[in-house]
Structure 1
Amino acid sequence: MKNLKTIAIALLVAFSAATATAQTKKIDVTKSTVNWLGKKVTGQHEGTINLKEGSLIFKGKKLKGGTFTVDMTSMTNTDMKAGEGKEKLEGHLKSADFFGTDKFQTSTLVFKTIAAKGKNVYTVTADLTIKDKTNPVTFDITVNKNTATTSLKVDRTKYDIKYGSGSFFDNLGDKAISDNFDLTVSLKF
């Protein structure tokens, strides 16, 4: 009788876990950070960009989805001071040569597939939309309590951002800019 009761409890727990409903956890955009890094032949620049909104979806403790909107107009440079060309660089990044923020004020990231990689680590394939162009990106994300962190590389040329790209223009010399830029993200929820 004791074994039957133990089996019944185990089945009830398994059934409850299997039928657990998804829980959406809203990202605290004031405490979350998105840092960018762009490289060129003669150096690099870095800065921040703000999340407009976002959420992660969990089923039990397992990550099952996510969606994010980035405010492209908030892009700032953090490695230069005012008067050193900071404003000029920020203006150029927001221009049609790069992100065209007058026309494309937001970018989005929507998780499509998620696979558990290890304890609290998942491999995500997501659709990234920049300048109304959508391409898949794959990255690992670590979820720990109320924080999620990730780093990913983005090939800007897939989003029609070709300015200074050695893949599209010849004889750029030391004016060439890397096709990839890096994002380092820390999400609080």
Structure 2
Amino acid sequence: MKNKILKSVTIFAVVLGTSSFTEPDTKKVDTEKSEITWKGYKVTGSHEGTIALKSGELKFDGDKLIGGEFAVDMTTIGATDLSGEYKTKLDGHLKSNDFFGVENHPTATLVITKVNPTGKNSYEVTGDLAIKGKTNPITFEMSVYGSKATANLKIDRTKYDVRYGSGSFFDNLGDKTIYDEFDLVVDLVF
């Protein structure tokens, strides 16, 4: 009986000791130094701009990325390739229900669900991206160097009920067609 108790206590101590070493190291993202830029495409050209990160964290096991979570402030979306009246109009349209409906959906989120190393500092990352109340999985490449990380995401806006000007949903748009995919370039500092 004493042997069984001793073995149980030893196993419990080993499990407890091991679990304390595997707790992830969470690094908060510096939202002031980090940057998200977007680029959307249409038949006659493109527009680009920025959007602010509200909060974020990356999780590591040693120096290996294992997870993370991010919240984006959709109310900050704005064009950087226009000025004056044209910028005001585009920024307002992007915030409207035609696009991101920021009054009802002020925050977009990304929760990393899977990380596969693809090289020394590079990873294939899969996560759940929520925009405008819709959540879909997304996979993208991310690189981590020291206290910085970069990622490039290609997002199909129609999966998030952002259909304005989409040739996938509307006929005869001609040169008013806006392509379904847009790009995000994310530069994180933590």
With normalisation by structure 2, the TM-score equals 0.89
> What is the alpha-carbon distance in structure 1 between the residues aligned to residue 24 and residue 180 of structure 2?
38
Partner of 1:103: 104
Count of residues in Structure 1 that have an aligned counterpart in Structure 2:
174
Partner of 1:170: 171
Q: Are residue 186 (structure 1) and residue 187 (structure 2) matched?
A: yes
Residue 91 of structure 1, CA deviation: 0.2
Secondary structure at 1:46's aligned position in 2? strand
Deviations 1:51-73 (A, max 9, x none): 00000000111101010000000
Percentage identity across paired residues of the two chains: 57
Secondary structure at 2:118's aligned position in 1? strand
Runs of 4+ in 1 over 3 A off after TM superposition: none
Deviations 1:99-143 (A, max 9, x none): 000000000000001000001101001000001100000001000
Secondary structure at 1:118's aligned position in 2? coil
Residue 74 of structure 1, CA deviation: 0.4
Deviations 1:37-85 (A, max 9, x none): 00000110000000000000001111010100000000110001113x1
Partner of 1:69: 71
> What is the alpha-carbon distance in structure 1 between the residues aligned to residue 68 and residue 23 of structure 2?
15
RMSD across aligned positions (CA): 1.5
Aligned to 1:37, which of 33, 36, 39? 39
Q: Are residue 52 (structure 1) and residue 51 (structure 2) matched?
A: no
Question: Structure 2: any 5+ residue segments left out of the alignment?
Answer: 1-16
Q: Are residue 24 (structure 1) and residue 29 (structure 2) matched?
A: no
Partner of 1:11: none
Partner of 2:4: none
Residue 20 of structure 1, CA deviation: 3.7
Partner of 2:12: none
> What is the alpha-carbon distance in structure 1 between the residues aligned to residue 113 and residue 37 of structure 2?
23
Secondary structure at 1:90's aligned position in 2? helix
Partner of 1:127: 128
Question: Structure 1: any 5+ residue segments left out of the alignment?
Answer: 1-14
